[in-house]
Amino acid sequence: MVDSSFLLACRNRPVERVPVWFMRQAGRALPEYRAVREKHGMFDIIRTPDLAAEVTMQPVRRLGVDAAILFSDIVVPLKAVGVDVELKAGIGPVIAQPFRTAADLDRLRPLEPDDVSYVTETVKILAAELPVPLIGFAGAPFTLASYLIEGGPSRTYGHTKALMYGEPDTWTELLSTLADITSAFLRVQIESGAAAVQLFDSWAGALSPDDYQRSVLPASSEVFDGVADLDVPTIHFGVNTGELLPLMADAGADVVGVDWRVPIDVARERLGSDVAVQGNLDPAVCLSPWNAVEAKVRDILTRNNKRPGHIFNLGHGVLPETDPDVLRRIVDLVHALG
Amino acid sequence: MVDSSFLLACRNRPVERVPVWFMRQAGRALPEYRAVREKHGMFDIIRTPDLAAEVTMQPVRRLGVDAAILFSDIVVPLKAVGVDVELKAGIGPVIAQPFRTAADLDRLRPLEPDDVSYVTETVKILAAELPVPLIGFAGAPFTLASYLIEGGPSRTYGHTKALMYGEPDTWTELLSTLADITSAFLRVQIESGAAAVQLFDSWAGALSPDDYQRSVLPASSEVFDGVADLDVPTIHFGVNTGELLPLMADAGADVVGVDWRVPIDVARERLGSDVAVQGNLDPAVCLSPWNAVEAKVRDILTRNNKRPGHIFNLGHGVLPETDPDVLRRIVDLVHALG
């Protein structure tokens, strides 16, 4: 699988066909996923290796994508070290007691492989059975911190930023602790067979470049440093990150994900020539008639102009109301054109 | 009032002190506003000139800002032409029957001054009593369309984009109709005494530059063209608009608002030398200790480096949990430094 187009593109190497996968490809857009979810809760699926492996493989079968991504959730490692977190339907993760002070740091401990033995087992099944590389993943320290601090959904990250600005020492220690948990969690996945890993810093785009550089980038770099010896490609993802792209590239990943707000040619200029790029179709486009989807896919490929190091993907996760046939057609079109 | 620092800055002219006001300065952060809201609904306040004028003046008295903004809501002109819209607490505007097809265009008619006679009256009271210029405002065609089409809150604008991509003729007609309503609404405010107007395209940052240029910019330009003969300064605002700034400047406003994701010096480069800038403090910073707030305020002023044409403001609206004393201190600091 070392000659997989996905892994080659991650390394900025030439490929015969541009590889494609979709963030949240294993999820509510697929009827076979919804069928599993009717019988099992999210955490039940994640902690049952056969189910997690099945759900991870569903989009590979149906869509013909060039990579699978482990079915999991961003809060899994937090729950694994004892944080009381629930996934509420239609809301997302809710933390019973939000983190707001230095004393809350005591509520986090290092993650040990035994805390996530179900992940080890799931990854082993998948590494043996999948016809394409498996991407492991974890939330980045800032995004995990914002979940812990806000306690629930937020559009402003007011509590998170108040801690970041108001108690910089506590903030730094919290992010460093989360970086350790995250890199330990990624190591487990890589050592069990994940061929690449993606760090989701979904909410980093809420920050100015200065704040990102000072208060967030060091912890994300620690994560990439923490897995560097394992030598698998790393992907660094966020949304609303137009101004942050050069800094995100500095953090040390091989690939940086971009949403649809920045045209891919502009993004590549900001990222520099050493870094591969993943993206950048607006997931909402997939709800439109096919001729609109096709025009957007062609535009992205034209703008990238056959430069090596392009992994075709959405700029954010698949929307639940997406028709899976549209995703299948996108895969076929990218393969035909790329 | 022609020598007001706010109006001079809008025209890119030198001022003695940098002017300051805050988006949503009349609102839930002020106890005197909450006292009014305990007794009256939003639309009741908006349609009762004495109350609307009182609420508009509250932040001028308490905070010492250099401009007032009419207390209103983005959906007021839609409701005035007969759209069934409610403001639901904690949710925002909810449209009883969302707009999804060409047939829905028949549900919009031109706005006549008599539809909003309460606005005329409120603006007249304020123009007579205020010690600072009054800013009128309206929602931009895209943002109004997204409310009409989604029907309620959305993070993805899936229905809006599906109409934009899938039925471009209907889309163009809808935006053009909304542009007419919006410019008629702004004309009423200017002719009654508003000294400047702001066009809120709050959600435009959900679009790629290409889509913005093709499907949104023409209608926003129509709005600015529609009030150009009245010769008051115009402000064009959105969030997440880093990539759109040059296009937003092209739409024809005197001032472009920027959020905190783009440093103000970078924003001014993208906007060009003819355009003034409004912003760009992160509203979440105001929830932090004063030394953090002060550092951010100083940084913005330092980056602007005394260039004419800077109106200090937040990058988005005041958060309800903000301490008004912090806002007052920001006004004093900007005045002392600027």
Going from the N-terminus, what domains does chain B have, and what CATH number goes with each?
A: 5-337 (3.20.20.210)
Percent above pLDDT 90 for chain B: 96
For B266-309, what is each residue's pLDDT tens digit? 999 999 999 999 999 999 999 999 999 999 999 999 999 999 99
Of B159, B208, B243, the CB nearest to A282: B208
Question: Per the CB < 8 Å rule, is B284 touching A260?
Answer: no
Q: Is A14 exposed, middle or buried (0-12, 13-18, 19+ CB in 10 A)?
A: exposed
Active site residue B155: no
Of B208, B288, B319, the CB nearest to A263: B208
* Residue B1 pLDDT class (50, 70, 90 cuts): low
Q: Which of B62, B66, B73, B270 is catalytic?
A: B73
Residues of A in contact with B282 (CB under 8 A): 161, 208
Q: Which of B33, B47, B62, B147 is catalytic?
A: B147
Residue range B242-269: mean pLDDT, rounded: 97
Count other C-beta atoms under 10 Å from residue B38's C-beta: 7
Does residue B263 sit at the A interface (CB-CB below 8 Å)?
Answer: yes
Q: Give residue A1's pLDDT.
A: 65
Q: Which of B24, B62, B187, B270 is catalytic?
A: B24
Look at residues A47, A209, A68, A176 and name the one whose alpha carbon lies nearest to residue A121. Answer: A47
Percent above pLDDT 70 for chain A: 99
Residue range A121-132: mean pLDDT, rounded: 98
Residue A2 has pLDDT above 70, yes or no: no
Mean pLDDT for all residues in chain A: 96
Q: Give residue A90's pLDDT.
A: 80
Judged by CB atoms within 8 Å, which residues 308-327 of A form the interface with B? Answer: 319, 321
Question: Per the CB < 8 Å rule, is A260 touching B209?
Answer: no
Residue range B10-24: mean pLDDT, rounded: 97
Look at residues A154, A259, A216 and name the one whose alpha carbon lies nearest to residue B283. Answer: A154
Question: Per the CB < 8 Å rule, is A240 touching B240?
Answer: yes
Active site residue A37: yes
For B165-213, what is each residue's pLDDT tens digit? 999 999 999 999 999 999 999 999 999 999 999 999 999 999 999 999 9
Residue B54 has pLDDT above 70, yes or no: yes
Of B166, B263, B292, the CB nearest to A209: B263
Phi then psi for residue A257, to 5 deg, are: -85, 145
* Residue B338 pLDDT class (50, 70, 90 cuts): confident
For the full predicted model, state whether its pTM sits above 0.80: yes
For B80-93, what is each residue's pLDDT tens digit? 999 999 988 888 89
Residue B98 has pLDDT above 70, yes or no: yes
Q: Mark residue B90 as left, alpha or beta (left: phi above 0; alpha: psi -120 to 50; beta: remaining).
A: left
Q: Is the dihedral of CA B127, B257, B155, B251 positive or negative?
A: positive
Residues of B in contact with A300 (CB under 8 A): none
* Residue A92 pLDDT class (50, 70, 90 cuts): confident
Active site residue A11: no
- When comparing pLDDT for B338 and A157, which is higher? A157
Residue range B152-158: mean pLDDT, rounded: 87
For A259-278, what is each residue's pLDDT tens digit? 999 999 999 999 999 999 99
Count other C-beta atoms under 10 Å from residue A103's C-beta: 9
Judged by CB atoms within 8 Å, which residues 79-108 of B form the interface with A? Answer: none
Which residues are CB-neighbours of A113 under 8 A, at least 6 positions away? A120, A184, A188
Q: Give residue A153's pLDDT.
A: 81
Of A158, A208, A285, the CB nearest to B287: A158
Closest-CA distance of chain A to residue B132, Å: 30
Answer yes or no: are the C-beta atoms of A158 and B321 closer than 8 Å: yes
Interface test with B, best of A91, A150, A259, A261 (most B CBs within 10 A): A261
Mean pLDDT for all residues in chain B: 96
Residue range A280-308: mean pLDDT, rounded: 97
Of B161, B262, B283, the CB nearest to A285: B161
